[in-house]
Structure 1
Amino acid sequence: MRICVLGGGVIGVTTAYFLARDGHQVTLVERHADVAQETSHANGGQLSYSYVAPLADPSVLPKLPQWLFSREAALRFVPRLDPHQWRWCLAFLRACTRARSRATTAELLGLGFLSQRLLHEIVAREALAFDYVRNGKLVVYRDRDAFEGARGQARYQAQLGCEQHALDGAACVALEPALAHIGGEIAGGIHTPGEEAGDCDSFTRGLARAAERNGVELRLATEFSGLRTKGLRVQVAVTSAGDIEADAFVVCLGFQSQPMLASLGVSVPVYPLKGYSLTLPNASAWGAPRVSVTDAHHKVVYAPLGERLRIAGMVDLTGMSAHADHERIALLARQARETFPEAGDYGALQTWTGMRPATPDSKPLIGATHFRNLWMNTGHGALGFTLACGSAQLMADLLAERELALDGDAFAPGR
């Protein structure tokens, strides 16, 4: 088939790659001069296959007042006169049940483990250079109750195939000596030795070149303005370089998938969760962590990427603007300095802001629309890099009408 993939982030590029491997004639449309220039450009860098539990969980409900009124909350909510925001929030609250959270965790773990296996195959086949390490992940807790809750979650996930170990504060510092500065504050941690890290930007650009070798046509610096339909079929994608005809169209436009598909009457419950990252160049060999670390109290992740340290955090549910909030960036930098003061020259920090496309239940939308040849692969929130390969394989299997490796209904747009 001739397939047009819309969007050149990590989801769009992996989708194009897997479709081309199936023998399809694939065209990928991206408005920037290269792929991975928006949300995929400088994300947290952690490949967190075992840390996919949804944001929607009963434990978040007591935190709602803090999210509304504190400028320093890890998750900040600013209400807007936007019906889409309120519909998303109401759906999020409906998903905050223990039963739904547990079921969603199991479904996302399945997609995560599939993604991990497929990424390993790509790394072996394509020899991509993206500062990839299998260095494990340590989530540290400063609050005893939060740590006990994490131990309970780890026990549940062990039944689903996760290898995780609970450590006391001293053991956390022994595993990652760079934590010594806050060692007295650590109540405990959960260590997952199988987790990984890498530079999503380099991965996506490298995979795009591999996709080209597999026959994918990259139409970069090409603005996409809409889809023209006839009846229940899409005829062409309208772009600045002319109309693109195809047998099937796959929308991988992140949070922009929502307004684009809404114009066709397709409901897409995706809303952007703005996040921030800092990149510390020439990170200290002894003062920066070599294990991927997550500070659960501040909701900040630290991922070593070669000689750099990627620091990422914050969830701002504040509207559709990608404008950087410099107070939030300053807060993130301060928290990083307090946690790893000897990690490097914080005066040389590089900053980034990204709009993570999130669904209320934290599961991506992968599958068909009511148009016969229009599909979507979007809504991965903060897990785009982690879930990209499995999502692309699921998309390819659905288009080929093959037997699926997992329950496709769990991620169907109409669920």
Structure 2
Amino acid sequence: MRILILGSGVVGVTSAWYLARAGHEVTVVDRQSAAAMETSYANAGQVSPGYSAPWAAPGVPVKAIKWLMQDLAPLMIKPTLDYNFYQWTSKMVANCTEGKYQINKGRMVRIAEYSRDCLKALREEVEIDYEHRTNGTLQLFRTQKQVDGAAKDIKVLKELGVPFEVLDRDGCAEREPALQYVKDKIVGGLRLPGDETGDCFKFTQALAKKCEEVGVKFLFNTSIDGLLTDKGDIVGVKTSAGVMTADRYLLCLGSYSPLLAKQVDMRLPIYPVKGYSLTLPIVDESRAPVSTVMDETYKVAVTRFQDRIRVGGSAELAGYDLSLPEKRRANVDFVVSDLFGGGGDMAKAEFWTGLRPMTPDGTPVLGGTRYPSLYLNTGHGTLGWTMSLGSAKFVSDLISGRETDIDPTGLGIDRYPYAYAS
């Protein structure tokens, strides 16, 4: 079949790879000049199946109010009259129950664990340099309350058979030697040894080249303006290069997916969550991380690449605003300086922002729609890199009419009863 993929971030490019390998004729369209130029460009660098968890959790609404009052707040909200913001927020709050949290985390870990396995298989098939490391993720706790609160996550990890280690402060410093200098700030940690790290931008750009080698066509600098329908199906895509047609269409536009879907009366419950990152060169190996450290207090991840440190975090609900106000550096600046001071050159840090497509329940929206030719692979929130290959392989199998490797229950748009306007 002829497949037209809308979007060339890590989700779009991995989808192109699997669909091309399944024998389809694949074309990828994107408004940018190359692959991975938006949300995939400078994310936190984590491939973290064990850390996969929904924002919507018991106690989060109260925590969110407290965060808004902190100087170094993990969450910021820009005042808005956007109805979609309030609608999305109300749906997220409705998912903040213990029962829904367990269900949603289980779905997310199911995809993420599968995705990590797909990434390992891909590395065995093709050679791709993306500075990957397999040293796990350390979720760092600064308070005993955080240690106690990790029990619900540990329960889900046990149920799903995900390996983990509970560490005291000495154990944290043993796994991340640079933390020996700041042990007094640490109470303990939860280590997820199966997690990995890597530069998502490098990976996506390299895989795009592999895609071209197997016949995938990329049309860059091409805006996607609308979907054309006829007799209850999608029959084309309006672009700046004219109308493009295919047998199947795959929507991989991240935060911009709802804007396009709305044109055909689909209500994708996805809202852009703005995140920030710093990338700084390493100047002292002994004070730099060896893998990823996730600071639970500030919701900031510090990740080691080959000769760089990537610091990613903060969540700002500000619509589609991509401005880079200097005051938003405070959170990520503080964490890397507080935990790994002297490890990187802050004067040479690259400051970046991107929009993360978040669903109210944390799980991406994967699979078919009521339009036979239209499929979805979007809504991965902060875990696009983590879930990308598994999501892509899953959707590729659905499009190809194959049995999927993981249970599809709860992953599609049908879990939202309000998904269609009529």
TM-score (norm 2): 0.96
C-alpha separation in 2, matches of 1:34 and 1:342: 34
Aligned to 1:107: 107
Question: How far is the alpha carbon of 1:239 from its aligned partner?
Answer: 1.6
Question: How far is the alpha carbon of 1:325 from its aligned partner?
Answer: 2.9
* 2:400 is the counterpart of 1:400: yes
1:244-302 Cα shifts (integer Å, max 9, x gaps): 11011111001101111101111110001100000011342111010311111111111
Aligned to 2:27: 27
Q: What letter corresponds to residue 295 of structure 1 in structure 2?
A: D
C-alpha separation in 1, matches of 2:93 and 2:227: 33
CA contact (8 A) 2:133 2:291 kept: no
TM-score (norm 1): 0.97
* 2:99 is the counterpart of 1:120: no
Which residues of 2 match residues 12-91 of structure 1 at below 5 A? 12-70=12-70, 72-91=72-91
1:189-228 Cα shifts (integer Å, max 9, x gaps): 0111111000000000111111111111111121211122
CA contact (8 A) 2:228 2:237 kept: yes
Q: What letter corresponds to residue 302 of structure 1 in structure 2?
A: V
C-alpha separation in 2, matches of 1:192 and 1:256: 32
C-alpha separation in 2, matches of 1:330 and 1:367: 39
Pairwise CA RMSD of aligned residues?
A: 1.3
Aligned to 1:165: 165
Question: How far is the alpha carbon of 1:68 from its aligned partner?
Answer: 4.0
C-alpha separation in 2, matches of 1:220 and 1:30: 5
Paired residue secondary structure (1:138): strand
CA contact (8 A) 1:95 1:101 kept: yes
Aligned to 1:320: 320
C-alpha separation in 1, matches of 2:25 and 2:60: 45
C-alpha separation in 2, matches of 1:4 and 1:156: 37
C-alpha separation in 2, matches of 1:353 and 1:316: 10
Paired residue secondary structure (2:287): coil
Aligned to 2:153: 153
Q: What letter corresponds to residue 405 of structure 2 in structure 1?
A: A
Task: Give the total of aligned pairs.
Answer: 415
Paired residue secondary structure (2:160): coil
C-alpha separation in 1, matches of 2:142 and 2:214: 48
Distance 1:373 1:156, change over 3 A: closer
Question: How far is the alpha carbon of 1:69 from its aligned partner?
Answer: 4.0
* 2:365 is the counterpart of 1:374: no
Paired residue secondary structure (1:351): strand
* 2:22 is the counterpart of 1:11: no
C-alpha separation in 2, matches of 1:215 and 1:76: 43
* 2:361 is the counterpart of 1:364: no
Aligned to 2:247: 247
C-alpha separation in 1, matches of 2:376 and 2:369: 7
Paired residue secondary structure (1:324): coil
The answer for unaligned runs of 5 or more in structure 2 is: 416-422
Q: What letter corresponds to residue 239 of structure 1 in structure 2?
A: T
C-alpha separation in 2, matches of 1:320 and 1:30: 18
Aligned to 1:189: 189
* 2:330 is the counterpart of 1:309: no
Question: How far is the alpha carbon of 1:181 from its aligned partner?
Answer: 2.9
* 2:142 is the counterpart of 1:139: no
Aligned to 1:258: 258
Aligned to 2:2: 2
Question: How far is the alpha carbon of 1:70 from its aligned partner?
Answer: 4.0
CA contact (8 A) 2:72 2:298 kept: no
Question: How far is the alpha carbon of 1:318 from its aligned partner?
Answer: 2.2
Paired residue secondary structure (1:297): coil
Question: How far is the alpha carbon of 1:173 from its aligned partner?
Answer: 1.1
CA contact (8 A) 2:8 2:28 kept: yes
C-alpha separation in 1, matches of 2:71 and 2:369: 39
1:293-337 Cα shifts (integer Å, max 9, x gaps): 111111111111111111111011122212223211133213321
1:365-410 Cα shifts (integer Å, max 9, x gaps): 0112222211111000000000001100111111122222222231
Paired residue secondary structure (1:58): coil
Choose 88-97 or 317-326, whichever is displaced more. 317-326
Question: How far is the alpha carbon of 1:159 from its aligned partner?
Answer: 2.2
Aligned to 1:214: 214
C-alpha separation in 2, matches of 1:320 and 1:67: 22
Choose 72-81 or 302-311, whichever is displaced more. 72-81
Paired residue secondary structure (2:59): helix
Paired residue secondary structure (1:269): coil
CA contact (8 A) 1:138 1:293 kept: yes
Q: What letter corresponds to residue 89 of structure 2 in structure 1?
A: C
CA contact (8 A) 1:75 1:314 kept: yes
Q: What letter corresponds to residue 117 of structure 1 in structure 2?
A: D
CA contact (8 A) 1:365 1:411 kept: yes
